[in-house]
Structures are given as C-alpha cells and as structure tokens.
Amino acid sequence: MATTVTATPTPAGAPPKAAVKPAKPAGPRPDLATISGITLAMAGIIGGLILEKGSIQDVAQGTAAMIVLGGTFGAVLVTTPMAHVLRAVRGLRAVFFERASDTAATIDGLIQYATKARKQGIVSLEAEAAAIEDPFFRKALSLAVDGTDLQELRKMMEIDIVLAEHTAESEAKVWDAAGGYAPTIGIIGAVMGLIQVMKHLEDIKEVGHGIAVAFVATVYGVGSANIFFLPAASKLRARMHEASLRKDMILEGVTGIVEGLNPTLIRMKLDAYNPHPSPKRVSGPKIAEVPSPGARAKRRDA
C-alpha cells in the first residue's frame, strides 16, 4: 500500500535520512490454480478418450460448439441485463489473474499512520491520505482526517463494502446461469443430431456414426458448465471474499487511528487478518549468571 513518510530535520553535520518512497501496489499475475486446473481437466478428458482408442476428431464438432455456446449465452442474455453480462465478461480477468497479497504491507502502512497521528495529530495525515492509490483506503483515511464522526465513517465505508459485494455477486451469477443452461442446451443439440440421424435409417453405419456425433453437444454442454462456467463463478466469489476481508481490515485500522489507540494494540488486532504473519524476534532482558556454590567457596578462600 502506498505510504509516505515525512523526513524529520537532522542535526547539522549529520547525513540526511533517505526519504521513503511510496510503495506501488503489486500488479496482477497469472493465477496458476485456474490455468493448471483447466489444463489438468482437459488433459484428463482427452487422455481418457485417447486411451479408449478414440481420437480428438471424435469430439471436435464445430456445429455442436455453436449450438451449445450460442444457445447458452442467448439464454443468459434473456435472464440477465446486458450491463451485468458485459461486466461479468470483463470480470473474467479476475479468474485468470490474481494480485499478490499485500496484507503485511497494508498493516505496516496503517501502523505508520497510527504512529504519526498519535504524535502529531490525525490532521498531519492529510498529505499521506491523498497519496494512497487504493480508493477504499484513501476514502477512509481522508474521512478520518476531515474529522468525520466515527460511527458515520464506519457506516459510509460499510456501505461501500456491501455495494462492492453486490456487484461481484451479480457478475458471479452470470456464470452460474451459464453453467445451469449449458448442459440443457447440450441435450437439445443431441436431440437435434438424433433427428438428423433418423432420416437415414436405411444405412446402419451412418446411423451409428450419426448417434456418436449427436452426443458431442452433450459433452460440450456438461464439460463447459463443470470445467469453466461454474468454477469461474466460484473463483469470482472467492476474490470477492478476499477483497471484503481486506477492506474490513483497513476499516478496523482506520477506526483504531481515529480512536487514538496505541499502534502496538492496533497491530495486534490487525495481525488476525494476516494468515502468514512474519515472525519477529523479541529481545528479552538479560539474566545475570548465578555462580555455582563451588565458585563462591573459592572466592571466600581467596
């Protein structure tokens, strides 16, 4: 999280301290779980097909894919407003990419702000609040600097969290709907293929081949629903829960700053949100060595 630290005046002749630059938030990186999961599922299905002496051409049917995908997204458009569908398509980026967890950095930033506010007053954080790149963090700290009532501040930020969860849930429901429609559309495609097969009952070989091709649409419908559509909805909900948890942590930290709590107490509270806290060594008081009875006896004799 972006933080800025104002340089304190140094005594004459002492080297000036280097200013701490604001830390830029980590950019998105490929989600290896999603990529490896889809790859593993496809490899298992195609590998099983090949082991059964089949070929990829047996399931490579463009018409079946057109029926399943076209029918599925058509049904989704009937069910869901266009704005939600477009937002859900753009939200697929969160399925294939993830942002590096910066919980520890965010906690460190909150502790720095709490320390400065405790020494110089919360108004001294005005410049730091304006430099924060995270919109939620910037808004919460700016409201605190402006002297907003604590209960009103918490209510406003909780509304932001609820609205963000509602938006993310609407995106996940689009893919839930696609996962529900795809298998049924696949069955429709299979029935349409069987209708065409029934027209050529005089040729038994053609009938057998046609039935095999007809069921490819069912494979596409069930496969797309259970390999991509439904897992994508679950991944979007997981991202939503992570974002909401992080916002709750930020809100608790800003609330502690407004209340003037000790930075150590704030850190103890916020560390509960960090699943992998960095261990810190605590230096305890040195214990004086107690001489043994034999050593005391030698001293008395000396």
Q: What is the pLDDT of residues 123-172, one digit of tens each?
A: 999 998 999 989 999 999 999 999 999 999 999 999 999 999 999 999 99
Whether the per-residue pLDDT at 245 is higher than 50: the answer is yes
- State the pLDDT at residue 99: 81
d(CA 281, CA 172): 43
Whether the per-residue pLDDT at 205 is higher than 80: the answer is no
Cβ within 8 Å of residue 78, ≥6 positions away: none
> Domain extents for the chain?
63-274
- pTM listed for this prediction: 0.77
Instruction: Please name the residue ranges forming H helices in the chain.
Output: 32-51, 62-79, 82-90, 93-96, 103-120, 126-131, 135-145, 150-197, 204-214, 216-224, 230-259, 263-270, 293-301
Q: How far is CA 12 from CA 9, 15, 16, 78, 265, in A?
A: 9, 8, 9, 73, 36
- State the pLDDT at residue 163: 96
- Give tens-digit pLDDT for 50-101: 998 888 888 888 888 999 999 999 999 999 999 999 999 999 999 999 887 7
10 Å Cβ neighbour count for 122?
21
Share above pLDDT 90 across residues of the chain, in percent, rounded to a whole number: 60
10 Å Cβ neighbour count for 69?
16
